[in-house]
Amino acid sequence: MAALLPLPALHATHAGIWLADGGGVRAASRGEAIARAAETPHILMNAPLVGQRLGYPDLSGLDLLELYAFVHPARFVVPTVAGLSRALGLAVPGDDGAAAGQLRAIAGALFDVFEDSHWREREGAWTSNATLHRLGWGWAGIVGERLAKPDKAERMLFSRLPQWEEQAERVPARTVTVSAEDAIERLAELTGGGAEARVGQQAMAAEAATMFAPRGAAGAPNLVLAEAGTGIGKTLAYLAPASLWAERSGGTVWVSTFTKALQRQLDAEGERLIPDAEERKRRIVVRKGRENYLCLLNLEDALQGAFTGRAAVLAQLIGRWAAYTKDGDMVGGDLPGWLPSLFRRAGATALTDRRGECVYAGCPHYRRCFIERAERAGREADLVIANHALVMVNAARGRPDAPSRIIFDEGHHLFDAADSTFSVALGGQEAIELRRWLVGPEGRTRGRRRGLAARLMDVCSYDEAGASALDSAVEAARALPSDGWLQRLAEGAPFGPIEALLAEVRGTVYARSKAHEAGYGLETELAELDGALVTAAAGALEALEALGQPLAALTRRLEAVLEDAPDWLDSSARARVEGAITGLAWRRETVAAWVRLLARVGGAADPDFVDWLAIDRVEGREFDVTIHRRWLDPTRPLAQAVLAPAHGVLVTSATLRGSGGWSQADARTGALHLPRPPQHFEAASPFDYGRMAEVLVVTDLPRGDLAALSGAYARLIEAAGGGTLGLFTAIARLKGVHARIADRLARVGLPLLAQHVDPIDTGTLVDIFRDDPRASLLGTDALRDGVDVPGESLRLVVMERVPWPRPTVLHAARRLASGGSAYDDSMVRARLAQGFGRLIRRQGDRGMFVILSAAMPSRLLSAFPPEVQVARVSLEVAIARVARRLGSGGERLGEAVAQGGQTLDVE
């Protein structure tokens, strides 16, 4: 057993507050806990969360999660007392009081690791801790006493990272076919010889193989739309033919997902395909957008003093992680999702390339860059696991690594992903970022940020035409919004043509918008505009055209310099020029899209697009003013840019058809816009939903009564004994319910987690929820379709009301074009099906789905599997049924009540 550190500990939950020291564990008041923590550093678990529970957000102490991140960077752990206890081989405490004492044992176990000769993350620890000590990290002094100084100097972080090497361009994939028999045989290898053969899985593997047949005509890919119910095993069904084709052809198959959870699942399945870890690393690569990866140049800048205070401590811990990470992915990779939240996200986003400032080959860490390494590895891989947005962006921009064989899993999200990818938004936040990239820092700023002129000054000094174009571009960029633009708009004093336009947009939205609820954004159609806005749009258009011209001229000059290769163009200058050309292409594309958008302001509406004006707000606070443009049907550019150039595409999901059958699937995936019709495949789920699940519609809960809603949630969670996912259509109601019931549930040993309330990222909330069968989780849309929690940890889904779509300008236009109320119904059915789909994930699962709304139309109940019993019942009956089916005390509630309610026929 680990030795206890001679330090006090503080543990706080919604059930109470406990202090632990050498004298034992005792309950404490909030005031006493705050006073004790202010006097003496206490061991804590997640200081921001404990501070929130105490009502003291400035609470600080010795956070065990920070210590774990130092000792075991890049290792997964559930950030709870139970999670760390299991990870360190300690007994899990039985209650919150015992958990307070366990904090000291966890700290002791982590310090014991320093004595372990097999500690694999030892290198770099002593040097990092010395720096952390200078930064005032609370643990540093104790760590320094326990951590032995290495016999020889430790290698610096950047020297420990592997370098990638240039490879010859990959030869084109050979023309091969994969037969149905070969696909089924490979599937048997992947599932194991002793596994029971699943007919639906075999049929899907055979159907998926057809996407790898040679394409018959340009622009007409082999497209397969496959609806595979939960439990079919569709992942291995499509990986079987995909892996065969990649091996035989020498080509690459891209598998695209919508959620990070499925990306992780697919990555884990790679062990079945390729057991050897090193070979698997080479042949299966995870790819994401650039903004997900750690930028080594930004990290170096942070480590050398650009960050101060707590942000500097975070940079040091991420530096430890960078030496041991698999791929440098900071968002959904092996960086603990809870780590940035411990520092209130101070500095975390500044360590990625979110502003598009990458200098590419001009970076001193270019050969070690995680982004470049992933991109090059993807070119040689058999399988690239990516996301819908990256696949679409690469294809739309004509990237050389745009995929020719694509599998879109979670295909019911394809429409939404295309809607976002092919949209245009001209707003203050986007415009000011473009100005910063071109002009550079204009006020008191620290760090390495430099404008385009500073990055190309020496290069353009040798080229008069290039220098002139650069000067013109920088001067034209000064017409874009600058710091303080939003305040100037509010004061009626915009500066420059773009700000003048945004001021008119803001005034128009406030004048016309009907929704003025606090916390919600405001919007109105871009139609029937007054003269002032049209005039302002013309001025902004002129300014953007004046910017686009020198950007184009500068690009041409830089390309000419590379082609001429003068003597002064050394490798460093060439690298900066190549990086500038890449960055300019992206910005020119953005400016051109803005120009096209403004050119139509005041003119006739384009029937292919939906345009509107918006003020974006968070909790009533404005943060952007924007002109939006979306395709009325975003599957048109999806089909043209992504599907048509491909040779073979599979789109699959458990709910691909929705309630509209294959015609709806064809419309939502872009199949209608291709010359060759798709192949359709369906395999029903093998689960006995009639036995495993039940749906209840509560009929007597008053609408708009937050107290009654809160009471219903609390009683249902108590009846189920936890394991509940609560889905809300409004953040305000979620927060209100959580505030009323969290303490009550905690006192009976039922922890309650909440998105938008707990200072924890959504992925970590799901990890905690999955880890504790007595925990419950409240959330919004992101949890309705992005949660995979099999087993007892999720046995009850409660939806607070019918999830009707918000009546936005965009929704209204699509509703009008797509059948009116039938379009709304199809969206609601899809959301209900996705929510119900969280319940039964594997054989043996059981669950109930409760809707707390009497206004649930019977026509929408077809969203659920036909064999599932659906009943309209009172709240009392619902609670009794939940207790009888899911809880342990249902027999005490009375069989007569539990059997009440009217069973409905599902249309």
Bridge partners, residue 725, by sequence = 777, 797
Phi then psi dihedrals of residue 357, to 5 deg: -95, 5
Q: Say what the pLDDT of residue 888 is.
A: 56
For residue 905, the model assigns a pLDDT of 38
Q: Give pLDDT, residue 346.
A: 61
What whole-number distance in Å separates Cα of residue 385 and Cα of residue 332? 13
Please determine, looking at this structure, whether the domain spanning 9-154 carries the CATH number 3.30.420.
yes
What confidence score (pLDDT) does residue 401 get?
66
Distances (CA, A) of 589 to 65, 202, 613, 846: 43, 45, 21, 51
DSSP codes, 182-220:
HHHHHHHHHH-TTSPP-HHHHHHHHHHGGGGSPPSBTTB
User: What fold is seen in the domain 689-904?
Assistant: Rossmann fold (3.40.50)
Extended beta strands in 14-165, E state? 16-21, 24-27, 43-44, 62-63
- Given a contact cutoff of 8 angstroms between Cβ atoms, the answer to whether 409 and 256 are in contact is yes
Helix or strand run (H / E) with residue 340: helix 338-342
CA distance linking residue 515 with residue 520, whole number of Å: 8
pTM score above 0.85:
yes
DSSP 384-403: EEEEHHHHHHHHHTT-TT--
Distance separating alpha carbons of residues 758 and 742, to the nearest angstrom: 11
In 3-state terms, the chain is what percent helix, strand and coil (to 5)?
50, 15, 35
Cβ atoms of residues 182 and 244 within 8 Å: yes
437-468 in b/e form (b: 16+ CB < 10 A) is bbbbeeeeeeeebbbbbebbeebbeebeebbe
pLDDT on residue 515: 60
d(CA 569, CA 160) in angstroms, rounded, equals: 30
Do the beta carbons of residue 880 and residue 898 sit within 8 Å? yes
Pair 529, 504: CB distance under 8 Å: no
CATH topology agreement for domains 180-293+353-422+634-683 and 689-904: yes
**802 three-state secondary structure:** coil
Q: Would you list the domain boundaries of the chain?
A: 9-154, 180-293+353-422+634-683, 427-630, 689-904
pLDDT at 894: 38
Q: pLDDT value at position 692?
A: 94
Q: Give the Cβ contact number of residue 112 at 10 Å.
A: 16
User: How much is the pLDDT for 251?
Assistant: 94
Q: For the purposes of burial, counting CB atoms within 10 Å of the CB of 140, is it exposed (0-12), middle (13-18) or buried (19 or more)?
A: buried
Helix (H) or strand (E) holding 497: helix 497-512
pLDDT at 196: 67
For the stretch 743-753, pLDDT in tens is 999 999 999 99
CA angle 485, 487, 489 (to 5 degrees): 70
Token digits of residue 355: 């502003």
Amino acid of residue 208:
A
In whole angstroms, give the CA distance from residue 402 to residue 375: 11
What pLDDT digit, counting tens, does each position of 72-118 carry? 999 999 999 999 999 999 999 999 999 999 999 999 999 999 999 99
573 φ/ψ sector (left φ>0, alpha ψ -120 to 50, else beta): alpha
Q: What is the CATH number of domain 180-293+353-422+634-683?
A: 3.40.50.300
pLDDT, averaged in runs of 10, over the chain (907 residues): 75 94 92 93 95 91 96 95 96 93 95 93 94 95 92 86 85 93 94 77 96 94 95 94 96 92 86 90 91 92 90 95 94 90 80 78 88 90 94 80 89 95 95 90 59 75 83 93 94 95 95 69 91 95 96 92 80 77 88 95 91 88 94 96 96 90 94 96 94 96 94 97 94 95 95 94 91 95 79 93 92 92 92 91 91 94 94 96 78 39 40
Predicted local distance difference test score (pLDDT) of residue 510? 92
Specify the pLDDT at position 619: 72
Measured distance CA(731)–CA(737) in Å, rounded: 10
